Structure 1
Amino acid sequence: MKSKKKLRISYILITIISCLIGVLFLSPFYIIIINAFKSKKQLFENTLSIPHSVTFDNFKEAFQRLDFISSLAHSLFITIVSVVLIVVFSSMAAWMLERTKSKLSGFIFTLFIASMIIPFQAVMLPLIRVMGKIHFLNVAGIIFMYVGFGSSLSIFLYHGFLKSIPKELDEAATIDGCNKFKTFWYIIFPLLKPMTITVAILNTVWIWNDYLLPSLVINKPNTLTIPLKTFFFFGEYTKQWNLALAGLILVIIPVIIFYFLAQKHIIKSITAGSIK
């Protein structure tokens, strides 16, 4: 009986703690949502209260200020192209490094792992200086840099996953007359789907939300991404919180849509990765 009481008490305590943690994590979303529908006056009167009168003017003005369609298109283009290139190049590189057992391949793989330790801020200024000299501070340049910075972690993840794929599949494909290119694309790459989804999600979230690198590379007003456009709500003397919060909700919507569309594949990738 005592053990049952202890279990019940521990269950109640865990439930209470879980609810408190849930409220703590959800509170920022509550603040963002309720204040996005308030006027500037209502927002400064009480930040935590429910709006007395709901207004959609913030969303209309934020939509125009963000130049939402244009900035969304730029963010989507940069994110999609960067992620596709990261997935293709990283999977190919990881496959060759894992299958080629030599000191050179081990050294190259170690270099990729070591590069993950170096923070971006340490190479930020020299990189921008070099890229500026070769006139590569544009959309193509930022995609090139995203591929470089995102490849190390992606190669590490693919390399670990490839160890669970038998090398005999490569040999069987070679016997059947496949060259290296066909062996990878028709045999190996389809088997990497769980890890490919994981790599794509990690890099999509990182690139979509990134502010620092685009702020250094993209200088033309007609090529700004959504994070850069959102920054314009915060001036030197004024901060338009009501418009900024409405803009944040508009920015979050594409991510939520992406999650719901990819939810089935995300769950599959997690379960497949755990089985592997």
Structure 2
Amino acid sequence: MKKASGWIKSILLILLALFFLSPIYIIFVNSFKDRQELYENALSLPESFSFQYYIEAMEKMNFVSALLNSLYVTIVSVIFIVVLSSMTAWMLVRTNNKLSTFIFMTFIATMLIPFQTLMMPLMQFISTITQDLGIPMYNTHEGLIYMNIGFHSALSVFLYHGFIKSIPITLEEAATIDGASKFGVFWRIIFPMLKPITATVMILNVISIWNDFLLPSLTLIDKGLRTIPLSTFYFFGEFTIQWNLAMAGLTLTIIPVIIFYALAQKHIIKGIGEGAVK
């Protein structure tokens, strides 16, 4: 009976894996086809595996520049989000008064507001900051990074807040008695203990920022500043869609994410395991 149950679970897991992998398969096989072959049978293997559409897609979407732009925006944004969110959550947990509770609930409330409702106020805010204060928020990577920090910090603070509450305050008190400053207590005692939740925060934010299309489309105009999602959108025109080139471009977009998971897999599993134990 147990053996039969194990076989059923294995079959269901295989079917589930095939279901989730099928879009990747469709994108990959169609990236090698011309339009006619793609329209005739989108599910079949290509007649020949030629990289000509990849080369053409890389040239048209300016792939190297877009890749570097995405890496810069994602890495810098995630670093600031991790540092600022962890410190904010720690202070809110350890302060523990009505003001800190109000601030934390404000962070929670912002998570309930759809981004679409903020688009017009956001553009007006960007225009005001740029024109009146001279701070370059529009059509710059730095402006996009600043907005990423703002929009992604709420969830990160929420995750850190719940994790830090489980850390005994006696560790910090002992470090303070030994002469450590608040800054030293956080970076030497608390932050190393946040590795499991930091892994989760980084993964969620890397995926979200890397794949984000809407916010960069509102703020980045120059072709040289575009991130990978914006560059891929080049193939989806108003009247025509270059499906074969779009598939090649999407495959190129997926590859960095797959590499990220392959390199971080051990840390992801370890972080999830330690977080569960915590």
| TM-score, structure 1 normalization | 0.94
Cα distance change of structure 1 residues 9 and 272 upon mapping to structure 2, 3 Å threshold: closer
Instruction: Provide the identity percentage.
Output: 57
CA contact (8 A) 1:87 1:200 kept: yes
Q: Which residue of 1 aligns with 2:146?
A: 144
Matches within 5 A, 1:191-230: 191-230=193-232
Cα distance change of structure 1 residues 257 and 20 upon mapping to structure 2, 3 Å threshold: closer
**Residue of 169, 174, 185 corresponding to 1:167:** 169
Cα distance change of structure 1 residues 13 and 119 upon mapping to structure 2, 3 Å threshold: same
Deviations 1:134-159 (CA, angstroms, capped at 9, x unpaired): 22212221111110111111011001
**Residue of 103, 125, 133 corresponding to 2:98:** 103
Distance 1:269 1:15 in 2: 26
Q: Which residue of 1 aligns with 2:83?
A: 88
- In the alignment, residue 92 of structure 1 is paired with which amino acid? M
**Residue of 66, 69, 72 corresponding to 1:71:** 66
Deviations 1:24-43 (CA, angstroms, capped at 9, x unpaired): 22211111111111122211
Deviations 1:60-89 (CA, angstroms, capped at 9, x unpaired): 101111211111111000000100000000
- In the alignment, residue 26 of structure 2 is paired with which amino acid? I
Shift of 1:14: 3.9
Q: Please say if 1:51 is aligned against 2:40.
A: no
Matches within 5 A, 1:115-134: 115-134=110-129
Distance 1:204 1:246 in 2: 22
Aligned residue pair count: 271
Distance 1:12 1:168 in 2: 49
Shift of 1:94: 0.3
Q: Which residue of 2 aligns with 1:26?
A: 21
Shift of 1:15: 3.9
Distance 1:10 1:76 in 2: 45
**Residue of 157, 160, 164 corresponding to 2:159:** 157
Distance 1:267 1:178 in 2: 33
Shift of 1:11: 4.6
Q: Which residue of 2 aligns with 1:248?
A: 250
Matches within 5 A, 1:6-17: 10-17=5-12
Unaligned runs of 5+ in 2: 131-136
Q: Give secondary structure in 2 for the equivalent of 1:134.
A: helix
The CA RMSD over aligned residues, in Å, is: 1.3
Shift of 1:12: 4.6
Q: Which residue of 1 aligns with 2:191?
A: 189
Deviations 1:4-52 (CA, angstroms, capped at 9, x unpaired): 3xx5655554444333333222211111111111122211111111111
Matches within 5 A, 1:234-245: 234-245=236-247
Cα distance change of structure 1 residues 19 and 261 upon mapping to structure 2, 3 Å threshold: closer
CA contact (8 A) 1:74 1:224 kept: yes
Distance 1:126 1:186 in 2: 40
CA contact (8 A) 1:39 1:55 kept: no
Q: Please say if 1:273 is aligned against 2:266.
A: no
Distance 2:269 2:15 in 1: 26
Q: Which residue of 2 aligns with 1:233?
A: 235
Distance 2:264 2:170 in 1: 32
Shift of 1:196: 0.8
Q: Which residue of 2 aligns with 1:36?
A: 31
- In the alignment, residue 186 of structure 1 is paired with which amino acid? R
